[in-house]
Amino acid sequence: MTTRDEAAREAAALSEQLHKHAHLYYVLDAPELPDAEYDKLFQRLQAIEAEFPDLRTPDSPTQRVGGKVLEGFVKVRHKVPMLSIRTETDISPGGASAFDARVRRELGLAEDGPQVEYVCELKFDGLAMNLRYENGVLVQAATRGDGEVGEEVTQNIRTVRDIPLRLNGKAPPVVEVRGEVYMKRADFDALNERQREKIAAGQKNEKVFVNPRNAAAGAVRQLDPAIAAARPLSFFAYGLGEVTPASEGGPDFPTQFDWLQQFDAWGFPVAKQTARARGAIELIAFHENIGRQRDALPYDIDGVVYKVDSLELQRQLGFVSREPRWAVAHKYPAQEQLTEVLGIEVQVGRTGKLTPVAKLAPVFVGGVTVTNATLHNEDEARRKDVRVGDQVIVRRAGDVIPEVVGVVPESLAKPEGERGPLFTMPRQCPVCGSEALREEGEVDYRCTGGLFCGAQRKEAILHFAARRAVDVDGLGDKLVEQLVDANLIRTLPDLYRLGFTTLAGLDRMAEKSAKNLVDALEASKKTTLPRFLFGLGIRHVGESTAKDLAKHFGKLDAIMDASEEQLLEVNDVGPVVAQSLRTFFDQPHNREVVEQLRACGLTWEEGEPAARAPKPLAGLTFVITGTLPTLSRDVAKDKLESAGAKVAGSVSKKTNYLVAGEEAGSKLDKARELGVSVIDEAGMLEILANGVPS
């Protein structure tokens, strides 16, 4: 039987190990211990604390899992006010120069005097937090509030894995470290994906979050710490609150940069982009450099912060209107703004994808004036409930296409009759009138017009003429654009009706080039069935599939007339590919294009159909959920469909197997409820290799 003294020694050792490995994993991104081994240590510490509750300390790693539900937040008065930093209104490089000039003027420095040294930091788009440590142990966390009084959120902050519960090394009796609680974009996207699954499963009171900042702030202000623990929050340290003075044994650092290095030594994450700068020129260089990196950062920032590095100079400069004279926030163009939806139109892409686009009242966002923003697809437009007349949040980051992030609550609160109708994707292509279809498991509608649709014309011609298709040498994108814009080519057969005189009359087209193209078109008429089939640009039909189809059926007419069941007998052809082929050849105008190409003289050798190969997983239905260890969902889906299985998007009584990866959500619960067999990636590969176990 373990004595209390033995348990205390073991608990202390386990706590030390767990703190070390958590810091390596969450802060340094350099794990040394497999997750399973970490879990064993953690569970052993939990067991000891359960047997000896008095050994459970506030800085124990087990305290990150969340405590009891709170009735409300306690108000906390900050010992040192959390003051705001002035924002430089000039977002150009001149903003940095203006700040440096103000600092020099306040310090009485001559124009030819020494350069002022600064610390340059990132301005995170999160929630400011004050962390109070006493004798190195986290005892209190509080929000900024109004700067004087905030709310205590200690239980929730304990769940943030990269905030140390106990400082590394020697710590002063009291120190308050300030920084930003935020959410990485990838974590935010994963959180929203889980939220969508919960909503689809019918769970009430769940919602999709508008942006990472709102998600982070909402997590911190949960009365139930278990909810906060389930949210993927992160932290960066950048400032100091109360600290034991040097005269009483506290640290004595002369610069802001020295303090940031101390934060790092204590175990806090400090943004690696933080740098020192001398004078306005280096401030400008930092602002421009971070601006170029901004969209590639794994988290949101809305600017940078300049601080005079010397703490003595900071004291000399002091404050004005409760803002420090020694610091400024130099922002970038806003990436989100409010505007009104004037209409919703549908655009047809070069591959036939239909995309709803919100027509907006002009708004300056992300450095440009935006009048259009994508709604991505019908599901997203309906999920966000975007309607004509709504006030919406529009986001544009870098060169990314502007998107509607969400509708403001005031618009959502309007009575149903006062808002426009809910968006529904048209069932006909707005360009050519062909049927618009949405394949099973897909989120996008696509025009079935293919070779006939004007929106897809240039892409269809370039694809058909590509080297791996019928190979029309010399027919590049600029020439195709010229031919289509001049209305000389409307469909693929028009290529073969181009004469020398027409081509030679084009701008920048010499007679020799015109003759070479005529010769190339003539040479391309003799092709192969796989090349011709691939050149038609049928969705999901690549070179390999085209070869398999040609080998299996032998003749083009047999492919065009094959049923979905017959197509599924082809190697590597699953339900999605079979449906795509059937949809393409069911369109009369696509068949007409094929016949006209034949009439233009395109020929290929045809043969007898190949012997039929069995499909071992025919008749079985699989569903894939979560993140698989080595395969993407698309690759896993292709493997299953190639073996004859059907891969569905939701679990039902007809599902035979659920392939579950990490963070499998509501689909896993549904499968267990219905008694569906649950397998992992290894189990799926075993079935693909050896068939269904008897």
Tokens (6 digits) for 693: 């176990």
Tokens (6 digits) for 585: 């050849």
Strand partners, 657: 622, 677
DSSP sequence for 556-617: HHHHHH--HHHHTTSTT--HHHHHHHHHHHTSHHHHHHHHHHHHTT-B----PPPPPPP-TT
DSSP conformation class of 141: E
3-state secondary structure string across 206-247: CCCCCCHHHHHHHHHCCCCHHHHHCCCCEEEEEEEEEECCHH
Please indicate whether residue 123 is annotated as part of the active site. yes
Cβ atoms 129, 180 nearer than 8 A: yes
Cβ atoms 556, 606 nearer than 8 A: yes
Reduced to 3 states (helix: H, G, I; strand: E, B; else coil), residue 129 is: strand
DSSP conformation class of 255: B
What number of other Cβ atoms are within 10 A of residue 434's Cβ? 21
DSSP sequence for 625-680: ESB-SS--HHHHHHHHHHTT-EEESS--TT--EEEE-BT--HHHHHHHHHT-EEE-
Write phi, then psi, for 166 (nearest 5 degrees): -140, 135
Query: Which positions ≥6 away from 415 have C-beta within 8 Å?
Result: none
Write phi, then psi, for 572 (nearest 5 degrees): 70, 15
Biggest CA–CA distance in the chain, Å, is: 100
Reduced to 3 states (helix: H, G, I; strand: E, B; else coil), residue 554 is: coil
Tokens (6 digits) for 495: 């290529």
DSSP conformation class of 474: T
Q: How far apart are CA 422 and CA 382, in angstroms?
A: 7
Strand partners, 306: 120, 328
Q: How far apart are CA 18 and CA 60, in angstroms?
A: 9
Task: Name the residue among 235, 134, 12 with its Cα closest to residue 20.
Answer: 12
Cβ atoms 44, 50 nearer than 8 A: no
DSSP sequence for 156-219: HHTT-TTS-SB-SS---SEEEEEEEEE--HHHHHHHHHHHHHHHHTT-TT----SSHHHHHHHH
In this structure, the strands spanning 336-348 and 353-365 are antiparallel
Active-site residue, selected from the candidate residues 40, 79, 123, 307:
123
Q: Report which secondary-structure segment, H or E, holds 548.
A: helix 543-553
Q: How far apart are CA 393 and CA 351, in angstroms?
A: 29
Query: Which positions ≥6 away from 624 have C-beta within 8 Å?
Result: 633, 636, 637, 647, 658, 659, 661
Cβ atoms 338, 313 nearer than 8 A: no
Tokens (6 digits) for 196: 């969508």
Tokens (6 digits) for 149: 């009084």
Task: Name the residue among 607, 606, 603, 639 with its Cα closest to residue 624.
Answer: 639
Give the catalytic positions in this structure. 123
